[in-house]
């Protein structure tokens, strides 16, 4: 017999609102893909501190799905490439930076063509999130690309990419086994899988 545990209300801390007041900001580093600023700020709640922030224009992630062979277990387009920061090859969804003035969906379509050669007839956005908001201002937007068709890839000179078509069930198994280490790929795959299997259940 399960033991009931009495619950007690927890007094909520005061909810602060608004944005920080920037007292001072200087560019500490400028690179090809991002800049780093050192900001002295007074944050909501009255705390004044110095924050190093990576400023990035934002990125798009493409979850390209091929349901033509097996609609119940569609394949997902995955890239295998070496990541110096991780010190190893990773399996990832296609992704890339949004160029200044570029719409996110246009960036997603461009990146899918450049990195894989694939195009898609149907597009929808799954989610928008901050990658690591403790120090990184970058947002990432995951787009679902369906009814895909192959074409010629146009990768950048430093992009050496192997393309894989992995069934959703296998990709989920690899995530569970800890073999997929890329955060955007884990998030995008799990979100899609939940929606996909919910739709299958509705048809049974």
Listed residues 35, 55, 75: the one ending a domain: 55
115 and 192: one domain?
Answer: yes
Residue 37 lies in a domain: yes
The answer to the question of residue 159 being in a domain is: yes
Same domain, 184 and 112: yes
Together in a domain, 25 and 106: no
Task: Classify residue 15: in a domain, yes or no.
Answer: no
Identify the segments of the chain with pLDDT beneath 70.
1-13, 200-204
Q: Give residue 58's Cα distance to chain centre.
A: 10
Residue 151 lies in a domain: yes
What pTM was computed for the model?
A: 0.86
* pLDDT for the residue 150: 94
Tell me whether residue 1 is in a domain.
no
For the residues of the chain, what is the DSSP string, one character each? -PPP----PPPPPP---S--EEEEEEEEEE-SS-EEEEEEEE-TTS-EEEEEEEE---EEEEEEEE-SS-TTS-EEEEEEEEETTTTEEEEE--EEEPPTT--HHHHHHHHHHHHH--EEEEEEEEEEEES-TTTB--EEEEEEEEEEE-------TT---EEEEEEHHHHHHHHHTT----HHHHHHHHHHHHHHHHHHHHH-
Could you tell me if 64 and 88 lie in one domain?
yes
CATH number of the domain at 148, please.
3.90.79.10
Check whether residue 50 and residue 67 sit in a common domain: no
Q: Are residues 50 and 63 in the same domain?
A: no
**Residues 118 and 152 grouped into a single domain:** yes
* Number of separate domains in the chain: 2
Same domain membership, residue 89 and residue 30: no
Q: Which domain holds residue 43?
A: 21-55
77 in the same domain as 50 = no
What is the structure's pLDDT at 204?
46
* Span 127-184, pLDDT tens digits: 999 999 999 999 999 999 999 999 988 877 777 899 999 999 999 999 999 999 999 9
């Amino acid at each position: 017999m399960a033991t009931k545990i009495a619950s007690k209300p927890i007094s909520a801390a005061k909810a602060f609102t608004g944005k920080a007041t920037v007292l001072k900001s200087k560019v500490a580093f400028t690179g090809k893909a991002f800049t780093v600023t050192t900001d002295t700020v007074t944050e909501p709640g009255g705390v004044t501190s110095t924050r190093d922030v990576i400023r990035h224009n934002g990125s798009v992630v493409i979850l390209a799905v091929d349901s033509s062979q097996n609609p119940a277990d569609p394949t997902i387009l995955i890239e295998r490439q070496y990541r110096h920061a991780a010190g190893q090859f990773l399996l990832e969804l296609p992704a890339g930076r949004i160029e200044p003035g570029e719409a996110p969906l246009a960036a997603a379509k461009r990146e899918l063509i450049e990195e894989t050669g694939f195009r898609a007839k149907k597009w929808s956005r799954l989610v928008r999130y901050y990658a690591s908001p403790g120090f990184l201002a970058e947002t990432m937007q995951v787009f679902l690309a369906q009814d895909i068709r192959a074409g010629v890839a146009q990768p950048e000179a430093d992009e050496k990419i192997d393309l894989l078509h992995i069934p959703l069930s296998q990709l989920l198994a690899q995530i569970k086994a800890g073999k997929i280490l890329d955060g955007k790929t884990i998030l995008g795959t799990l979100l899609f899988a939940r929606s996909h299997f919910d739709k299958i259940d509705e048809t049974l």
